[in-house]
Each structure stands twice: as structure tokens, then as C-alpha cells.
Amino acid sequence: MKQLQAGDKAPDFSLTDQNGKTVNLSEFRGKRLLVYFYPKADTSGCTKQACNVRDASPDFAELNVAAIGISPDKPDKQKKFDDKFQLGFPLLSDPDNVVAKNYGAWGEKRMYGKTYEGIIRSAFLIDEDGKIVQAWYKVSPGDTAPNILKALSN
């Protein structure tokens, strides 16, 4: 799967969020956007990552950055995840992994000696014009928000 680089146009998407609303990338023009991909709602790593992004929301707001999380989970599971941890940002459902593939966030993984296809935990900072500023593949759950804040402080 091709990985995105700084300067690439962010692949467009139109996905359903945890509240049943359709969210399009184009809605965020004029704002910076964090898009991150996570394997499964309400698991330890994904919870750490989502809460990390939630806790950084005031800093993101000061920097005109919105946040979106994307996983293969259905909207009702995303809703329970959002309600449980009061995340407060869109969690989008990509059940066929089409958007994840377009972002290079889907590919071969290994665990316990087995190889399988799945979400590669990834994060992307997208600028006001819809271009990739920076991409982080195989990002640690606790590093997503700090990476964004560091990239914006340079």
C-alpha cells in the first residue's frame, strides 16, 4: 500500500460518524485537521489514543485544528465508545477499509507469529487546503496528539 507523504493531496472521504451524520473531508477546508486511524473502538491502545486526542482538544482549538478518528467499527459501536469516554470529536466508520487503504493505513500486520491484514495505526496532519503536512505510520497510541502539537510548533 502506498504511503502518503508531505505535500500529497489528502484523499477525499465521505463517511458516517457515531451520530449517523455524513462527514466529508471537504467540510474541513480552511482548518487544519488531524485524521487518525485506529483498529478497534474501546480496546486499550485505541482508548489511550482517543483519550490522548480528547485531552489535547483545547490545544488543538487554539491552533485551529479539528480531529477525526476512523476505524472499521460500525457507528453504534463508535457512539458507545464516544459516550463512554466523552471524546467529543467525530469517529467515522470505514467498514470496508476503503478510506484506510487510500491513506495507506491498511496493510499486512503480524501478531503472535501470524500474518494478517488490518489497520496500521496512523495519523495525518492535513492543512487548510487539504494537503498532507505530515504522516505518521505505526504511531504509538500515546504519541498521536504530541506529534501533531510538535509539528505545529515548528
- pLDDT computed for residue 113 by the predictor: 87
| Residue type at 42 in one-letter notation | D
Model pLDDT for residues 79-93, shown as the tens digit of each residue = 999 999 999 999 999
Mean pLDDT of 54-80: 97
Sequence ranges of the domains in the chain: 14-153
C-alpha torsion sign, points 14, 135, 52, 74: positive
20 SS3 class: coil
Q: What is the pLDDT of residue 1?
A: 61
pTM comes to: 0.95
> Which residue is catalytic, options 15, 33, 46, 105?
46
Active site residue 51: no
Q: CB-based contacts of 39: which residues, under 8 Å, 6+ apart? A: 45, 46, 71, 72, 118, 119, 121
| Residues 89-131 pLDDT 10s | 999 999 999 999 999 999 988 878 889 899 999 999 999 999 9
Residue 63 region by backbone torsions, left for phi larger than 0, else alpha for psi between -120 and 50, else beta: alpha
- In this prediction, residues 51-60 reach a mean pLDDT of 96
Q: Please state which architecture CATH assigns to domain 14-153.
A: 3-Layer(aba) Sandwich (3.40)
